[in-house]
Structure 1
């Protein structure tokens, strides 16, 4: 992992908070470059398409409250680990927004040495991959539960109509699916929908 995207706020005028943000972002970029990383920068979502396919991770130097929007923009283009650059500026501006479910995979700080940055990025990447795996498994489980719901409803309908047990109704569903070369859930869904239309 050598290519990072540093996301920070655009400084429109030289107010003290904006100056602090700009200075801390410059320190972040300098620290990351000196630690051997190639750093791209982005201040708006419009900047993402030009570099998104080059990067291995995103480092966000923002108040925590603004990270979720950036993460959604990144997810649309390319899911990557998101690590928070916790500087005095971003830490102080996040004090009112402390929460356990901040959408980040790790934290980096200005005081980290190159080896500490490396390991924090490594651990953050593992956290990201674990989160992606968990999300995939959750989606698969939801899909299976949804399929089970349709199959159970179809079994109940076939059992009532044909006056057979649910086990026999399931065998009927399975045979119909095999004969029509369809998935059993597709046959079950069509049976349930047809039954609902007849009752309407």
Structure 2
């Protein structure tokens, strides 16, 4: 990670200097709202904010762009049970050396990539489930209208999709929607 965006709502000049070690470019802003213009060039974001602001700041950054997000924790005591939010990739403490911070950034980048892959896989699976629902409904419609069995209905959908150069789910959705329009 070469470019780090630091959202510093306090005075954490020691963090900024340790982040710059190792040849990293550090962009510093005073709040998550100021991060808009610089988030596009950042490889990661570090939030130096109070615990109460962490989740809001995190959500704001995640809405702008998916990138590794770290929290710089200066809190003296943390609650026993804590919701770290939905996209926190690591925690950096004031006691960490520059080397420790570098390792945390590398580890957090891997965590972020894994979560990104899981999110993409989840979206693909949800899309497949939705497509499967349309196909099952379309098969039922075709069985009713054409008086054919499910295997023949599926073959019809597959051939229609190939002829139209569309995904079978698109063809199935069209059939179901037209049927619902006519018989709805």
Q: Establish whether TM, by shorter chain, passes 0.5.
A: yes
Q: Could you say which residue in structure 2 is the equivalent of 1:18?
A: none
Q: Could you say which residue in structure 2 is the equivalent of 1:155?
A: 139
Query: How many corresponding residue pairs?
Result: 184
Task: Output aligned runs, 1:124-163, within 5 Å.
Answer: 124-163=108-147
Report the CA distance between 1:80 and its aligned residue.
Answer: 1.3
Q: 5+ unaligned residues in a row in structure 2: which ranges?
A: none
Q: Could you say which residue in structure 2 is the equivalent of 1:116?
A: 100
Q: Could you say which residue in structure 1 is the equivalent of 2:8?
A: 8
Separation in 1, partners of 2:64, 2:83: 26
Report the CA distance between 1:34 and its aligned residue.
Answer: 4.3
**Counterpart selection for 1:174 from 151, 158, 161:** 158
- SS of equivalent residue, structure 2 residue 118: helix
Determine if contact 2:7/2:35 at 8 Å carries over to the other structure: no
Aligned-residue Cα RMSD (Å) equals 2.2
Q: Could you say which residue in structure 1 is the equivalent of 2:83?
A: 99
Report the CA distance between 1:177 and its aligned residue.
Answer: 1.8
Q: Could you say which residue in structure 2 is the equivalent of 1:54?
A: 41
1:78 aligns with 2:62: no
Distance 1:103-1:53 versus aligned 2 partners, 3 A rule? closer
Separation in 2, partners of 1:101, 1:74: 12
Distance 1:95-1:72 versus aligned 2 partners, 3 A rule? same
Separation in 1, partners of 2:80, 2:7: 21
Q: 5+ unaligned residues in a row in structure 1: which ranges?
A: 10-20
Report the CA distance between 1:199 and its aligned residue.
Answer: 1.9
Distance 1:102-1:156 versus aligned 2 partners, 3 A rule? closer
Q: TM-score, normalised by structure 2?
A: 0.87
